Amino acid sequence: MNFISPIFTHTQVQQCLVDTPAAAGNCAIETHDLTIYYGDFCAVRDINLHVELRKITAFIGPSGCGKSTVLRAFNRMNDLIPSARVEGAVLFGGQNIYAPTVDAVEVRRRVGMVFQKPNPFPKSIYENVAWGARINGYRGNLDELVERTLRHAALWDEVKDKLQQSALALSGGQQQRLCIARAIAIEPEIILMDEPASALDPIATLRIEELMRTLAQDYTIIVVTHNMQQAARVSDYTAFFMVDENRAGYMVEQGHTREIFTNPKDKRTEDYITGRFG
């Protein structure tokens, strides 16, 4: 059953108010009883979380706990998997993005995504950045947009002399920063990052993390990571996920990263973070 109208229940509003001092106005995205199935298999169940505006939120948890599934629900990427089915609601700007009147294409335009493996288009560097803007009907000067975006992604100095060369000739870390540049070129409000540094070496990882901190001034970032130090280093908020006995993922708790890592409310979080399992 789809949650159609974007109505806040009393408790949910309260929860939002309790957890975030600046109230609901700072919620970039939130979910209500989000449950996702792949065919008959329930991948995640009853997720109720919210994401702060212009902050970095990290999703952590053991493999198979549905972090990526939840992340992909935020820009309806799960629609591409024919067997996927979503129940509950994902509220983005107060609007349930799974309402029948909402076009997934519009959602993805406003909620960008960076994937685990760098996946630049097999085109020129310039074209990688410009393409998204062009297909979305960008009317301004593309050259300016490309330069501004690449500067923003801290990639301009490295690639300014080879904009017309193939993006595939870049190193893995550069490719991933290009993918981030590509995502911000269409000026989304939220950037989803699915283990963006897991395929990179520590130095490239560091650069990605620095970039994320810079981008957090303008964008809301949600990052899935297996690397706890990374979550501790870059994120402002953390949500911890677990798998239940039916292999369905659920959220254990969420809160300020400092709190989660130093003083978790839940025993399971503490066990996971201290490396007792997982």
Partner 1 sequence: MTRAHFDPRTLHRHRAAGIWSTLFLGAIIIAIVALGALLYDIVDESFGLVAIENRIDPASLARDGMPLETLDKAQLVEILTGHISAGLLRRLENDLPFEERDRANVYALVLERVVEPKIVKTWSLTDSLTNRAAIEAEVLAEYPQARLEFHAWINSTFIQSPQSSSPEFAGVRTAILGSLWTIVITIAVAFPIGVGAAIYLEEYASDTLVNRVIQTNINNLAGVPSILYGMLGLAIFVRGLEPLTSGAWLGAGDPTTANGRTVLSAGLTLALLVLPLLIINAQEAIKAVPASLRQASYGLGATRWQTIWHHVLPNALPGILTGTILAISRAIGETAPLVVVGASAFVALDPSGPFSKFTTLPIQIYQWTTRPQDQYRNLAAAAILVLLVLLLSLNAAAILLRNRYRRQG
| Gap between the Cα atoms of 114 and 109, Å rounded | 13
CB 246 to partner 1: min, Å: 26
For partner 1, the closer of residues 154 and 168 by Cβ is: 168
Measured at the alpha carbon of residue 111, what is the angle toward residues 89 and 30, in degrees to the nearest 5? 30
Which pairs count as long-range contacts for 94-103, CB under 8 Å and 24+ apart, including other chains?
94/6, 95/6, 96/3, 96/4, 96/5, 96/6, 98/2, 98/3, 99/2, 99/4, 99/5, 99/6, 100/2, 100/4
CA torsion through residues 205, 80, 120, 113, sign = negative
For partner 1, the closer of residues 50 and 72 by Cβ is: 72
For partner 1, the closer of residues 1 and 80 by Cβ is: 80
Retrieve residue 261's tokens.
């890592």
Which residues lie near partner 1 (CB under 8 A)? 75, 77, 80, 82, 105-106, 108-110, 112-113, 115, 117, 119-122, 131-132, 135-136, 179, 182-183, 186
Q: Are 93 and 68 in contact (CB under 8 A)?
A: no
CB 271 to partner 1: min, Å: 34
CB 134 to partner 1: min, Å: 9
For partner 1, the closer of residues 71 and 273 by Cβ is: 71
| Gap between the Cα atoms of 227 and 257, Å rounded | 14
For partner 1, the closer of residues 109 and 268 by Cβ is: 109
Compute how many other C-beta atoms are within 10 angstroms of the C-beta atom of residue 166.
Answer: 15
CB 201 to partner 1: min, Å: 20
Measured at the alpha carbon of residue 243, what is the angle toward residues 248 and 205, in degrees to the nearest 5? 115
CB 181 to partner 1: min, Å: 12
For partner 1, the closer of residues 155 and 179 by Cβ is: 179
CB 131 to partner 1: min, Å: 7
